Chains A and B, each alone.
Chain A
Amino acid sequence: MQAFNKKLVRDFWRLWAQSLAIALVLACGVMILVIAIGVERSLTETQSAFYERNRFADIFASATRAPNNLKREIEQISGVSVVETRITQFAILGLEGITEPAVARLVSLPPSGEPLLNVPNLTAGRMPTPEATKEVVVNETFALANDFQPGDSFYATLNGQKQLLTITGTALSPEFIYLIGPGAMMPDDQRFGVIWMGYDPLASAFDLGGAFNDVSLRLTRDANPQIVQDELEKLLVPYGGTSPYGRDLQSSHMFLDSELTQLRAMGKSIPPLFFVISAFLVNMVLGRLISLEREQIGLFKAVGYSDLAISWHYVKLAIGIGLFGVILGWAIGVSAGYALATYYTVFFHFPYLIYVNSPDTYAISGLAGIAAAVIGAMRSVLKTTKLSPAVAMSPPAPTRFKQNIFDKLGHMLGARQPVMMIIRSITRWPMRASLTALGISMSVATMIASLFMFDSVDVLMESAFFQSNRQQVTLSLAQPQSRAVLADVENLSGVLRAEGMRTVAAKLSNGHLSRLVGVEGRDPGMDLSRVLDARNSKIVFPEQGVVISDRLANHLDAVIGDELEMEVLQGQRGTYRVAVTGIIQKYFGIGAYMDLDFLSALLQQQPLVNAVNVSIDATRIEELYSDVKSAPNIGGIVRWDQIRQGFSDTIAESSSVTTTIYSLIASLIVVGVVYNSARILLSERARELASLRILGFTRSEVSFILMGELIFLTIVAIPIGFMIGYALAGLIVSSFSSDMFTLPLHVSRGTYGYAGIVAFTASTASALLVSRRVNRLDLVAVMKTRE
């Protein structure tokens, strides 16, 4: 081996602890990049393969009752390649083992038995035979949650008729990758499922013979979706049709898409942070190494090594450190990425996973990692080229210090000399101090930007579950009914109080801006489910006008006093003008609210309700269930206590894992930054500190000088980290928020405290680790040697 390369290997060995500290930070960046790219590509690939193979539709619409021969007219629309008409309805199920009623979405299969679009992917058993009326396929997750096998049977109430259905198979569908029940906020596989069954039994149960109420289309490649949607709407309007929508508003696709967007954002935004910190650390460590090896560099030049050869020598050292981090990052990234992709596959209910593990992921992340190390090395390496051999071989000029304003402050406060040394070191190298502090701040910010989610969810849960929705149960009615139904509901077993409301699908427009929303009509006396203002007090709706959520107000660019156009999309359709009388904050969905009487007057109808919020005597819940299962006009039931519990469980489960991972990552950053800073300070000051030991300073007094600077920078960095963290949290909230879900921005004192303590502890521990070396200072050597 060349002598030069031997030096390289030995340098690397000598610096192993510092290299490891840098490599770990770099590895985090590489790992996240590998995971994010790998998972995002795998999921995108899996999604598009699943969509393609199972012919996921492009356009969706529903109607009340449209004749089957309308299908031919739909097929005539230019740009339409395939049309599938179906019946979809909801049914209440009676399942053994769970007393509360479950709900299922019923989807008809064509008489041929083979759907053209949104094809269910059988995972077990077979499809129902076309002539069988009681055979069904259920979605796999529902079957798993309820321990159903092909051959098992259960009862379902279809439009008031109780039927025993037999499972012939289980399936996954591109349409229901993410499945959420009506009125629910979280998936509940046990109590909400999808049932595919023959067209005839469904049509006869729901009195839809020769008709359909749901249509999906696949478009030709050159089709204009908007024109197709408009044409389709025209055809469906006479049959109670709602506005057609594309995949972008299909709830399963929407959710999946927002997850993928988040993954993409994570891959783009987080790794650069780690790369920048690594570059800074390499800069610091190599800078010190080169200043220590100044005389050697002079010697190399004197004996004839070129500037290029010497530069390349140090760049190779940086590449070594970079490679170390990259390999570490790849190793963790590839296994964690596969595990995460598999987790997502199960979470989203993909039937399979196409794991994309392409070389360019490694090329990109590896190059980025090594580039960070090399860029970090550049400043110091360029310095070596500027050293002339004669200058390099003589000792460096002593560092010059100047009095400055901070000195005066120190003197005024009667600071002792060790404190003055700390002040001068910081003010003499402000850039280094700032970057060290910034590194620590970023680690604090990383923790806050990830852990604030739990605080925000707490706020959201408090608002959504304890302030707004105080009902225990919401019953949805199969058909809108007059308020008299409330008295019937109050007669059900265990019901203490029943409050009705009405939701109407409508398009709200302000000029050219429009949005599809469910407009809720509410009675002023409603007290179980409440709409709250920013100060959490109940809003009493004005007798006229509409109150909208802030997100909807943004979409429509509307302020209080604006008049909106409201196009009702169901029942007797009509267009009305309503004034915005209030804007509220809302976390789930984009809502619009009206006084029920005002809404009814607008629609020129008697006040009708289609959902009833109920408070119950918890001890009689079982009786209520059995009443509900046999009540023909109740289409669904949502239990809020279960939603609350499900939400809490999900959060608690992910909370401990997430907290651990992010605390670990943040600690790695702090250790990387503080350990290296401490080693460098020690190296620069070894002689000074040993001299102080000779003069009679104790080990702890000397350690104070070494650690004081870093502890001080940590204390300064933590509040800055709080601010950066809060700003990052704000960015995350805005990128995270969709029409389905808005996260409130809230960082609790506990989160600030936790992030601060973790950073402070990691920083102190790293500094302590280095300050133990103070004990090993060679006092005798210092007596005799020049620096």
Chain B
Amino acid sequence: MKSVFHTEGITKVYDTGEVQVFALRGVDLDIYAGEMTVLLGASGSGKSTLLNILGGLDRATEGRAYFKELELTAMKERKLTVYRRDHVGFVFQFYNLVPSLTARENVALVTEISPNPMRPEEALAMVGLEKRIDHFPAELSGGEQQRVAIARAIAKRPEVLLCDEPTGALDSKTGVKVLEALTRINQELGTSTVVITHNAAIQNMAHRVIFFADGRITDVKVNDTRLLPHEIEW
């Protein structure tokens, strides 16, 4: 299988002056095309730091990270912006929608700067929000807001979708709906999806689960059978 992400000895050290905090201690990892991967670990285990480096938001102290043939760790800020713009879809824990834009406009925000986007209406239909298209974020529930955020992330047809605790702020029932949307996109569009969570229940819907602790990968598990989102409970 082809890798979309490949890392070699990624280390991240936060130097606070008095103490050095190791967030990542030499992580080697491959994420494959079309795969749904769950990064699982307690908070502070380094999974978010890795996601930030893969997403081009943060820099590694040591080691190399590649997106296909692009070496992310060698790219300047300007190039990283273009990389995020053209290849990556982000989903945040707290949705990060623009409150002054409607659902459709929040999606259009991204499609307007993408080379090959889908129509905002189409993206919203994929997450089941075709009826809420002209609502402002304040008029939507948390689950709906997160689905708008997913529609916004996938509307540019990104090769990878990076989700940081996408259900972290939601109850289980709404969380399931969000996971359904992610699964559907992974299946229908073949988008490689990385979900980080500390919610162990979610691991069962992934192709592969990567366990993090203390800045290292402690285990990798391949699910032979995957659960559908509505079969998951927490």
Interface contact A696-B81, CB-CB below 8 Å:
yes
Contact of A783 among B57, B106, B112, B113 (CB under 8 A): B57
Interface status of A691 (Cβ within 8 A of chain B): yes
Does the CB pair A696–B88 fall under 8 Å?
A: yes
Report the bound CA distance from A421 to B109 in whole Å: 10
Q: Return chain B residues, CB-CB under 8 Å to A400.
A: 136, 138-139
Specify which of A688, A696, A784 is in contact with B85 (CB 8 Å cutoff): A696
List the A side residues contacting B99 at CB < 8 Å: 398-399, 401, 688
* Interface locus among B89-97, B184-192, B197-205: B89-97
- In this complex, what residue of B is CB-closest to A691? B96
Contact B101 A784 (CB under 8 A): no
The answer to whether residues A780 and B101 also contact, given A401-B138, A694-B84, A695-B109 and a CB cut-off of 8 A, is no
Q: Is chain B's interface secondary structure helix, strand, loop, or mixed overall? A: mixed
Closest A residue to B137 by CB, please name it: A398
A420 sits at the interface (CB 8 A): yes
**Do A692 and B109 touch (CB < 8 A)?**
yes
Chain B CB within 8 A of A428 CB: yes
B134 and A697: CB pair below 8 A? no
* Complex CA–CA separation, A399 to B138 (angstroms): 7
Within 8 Å by CB of B94, from A397, A693, A785, lies: A785
Q: Are B85 and A695 in contact (CB under 8 A)?
A: yes
Q: How large is the interface on A (under 10, 10 to 19, 20 to 34, 35 or more residues)?
A: 35 or more
Give B67 Cβ to nearest chain A Cβ, in Å: 14
Task: Name, among A694, A696, A787, the residue most crowded by chain B CB atoms within 10 Å (CB to CB).
Answer: A696
Residue of B nearest to A400 (CB): B138
A402 proximity list for chain B (CB < 8 A)? 136
Closest to A424 in B: B100
Contacts of B98 in A (CB 8 A): 417, 421, 688, 691-692
Q: Does any Cβ of B come within 8 Å of A701's Cβ?
A: yes
Q: How long is the Cα–Cα vector from A699 to B82 in the complex, in angstroms? A: 11
The answer to whether B110 touches A695 (Cβ under 8 A) is yes
Within 8 A of B (CB), among A164-178: none
Contact flags B20-64 to A (C-beta < 8 A → 1, else 0): 000000000000000000000000000010001001011000000
Residues of A within 8 A of B110 (CB): 695-696
Task: Say how far B100's CB is from chain A's closest CB, in angstroms.
Answer: 4
* Complex contact B93–A784 (CB within 8 A): yes
Taking a contact as CB atoms closer than 8 A, the residue among B78, B85, B86, B102 that contacts A697 in the complex is: B85
Quick check: is A68 within 8 A (CB to CB) of the other chain?
Answer: no
Say whether A696 contacts B138, CB under 8 Å: no
The answer to whether A425 and B100 touch across the interface, beta carbons within 8 angstroms, is yes
- The answer to the question of A630 belonging to the interface, with a C-beta cut-off of 8 Å to chain B, is no
Shortest distance in angstroms between B21's beta carbon and chain A's nearest beta carbon?
14
CA–CA, A402 and B94, complex, Å: 22
With most chain A CB atoms within 10 A of its CB, the pick from B78, B98, B113 is B98
Q: B144 on the interface (CB 8 Å rule)?
A: no
Contacts A398-B99, A420-B101, A693-B81 given; does A779 touch B57 at CB 8 Å: yes
19 inter-chain pairs at a CB distance below 8 angstroms, sorted by A residue, are A398-B137, A399-B138, A417-B108, A424-B100, A425-B100, A687-B96, A688-B96, A691-B92, A691-B98, A693-B81, A694-B90, A695-B84, A695-B85, A696-B84, A698-B85, A780-B58, A784-B93, A785-B94, A786-B94
The interface of chain A, by Cβ under 8 A from chain B, is: 397-403, 416-418, 420-421, 424-425, 428, 687-688, 691-699, 701, 779-780, 782-787
New A-B pairs, 4, CB < 8 Å, besides A401-B136, A697-B113: A401-B100, A417-B109, A701-B113, A779-B58
Q: A-contacting residues of B (Cβ < 8 Å)? A: 48, 52, 55, 57-58, 78, 81-82, 84-86, 88, 90, 92-94, 96, 98-102, 105-106, 108-110, 112-113, 134, 136-139, 152, 164, 169
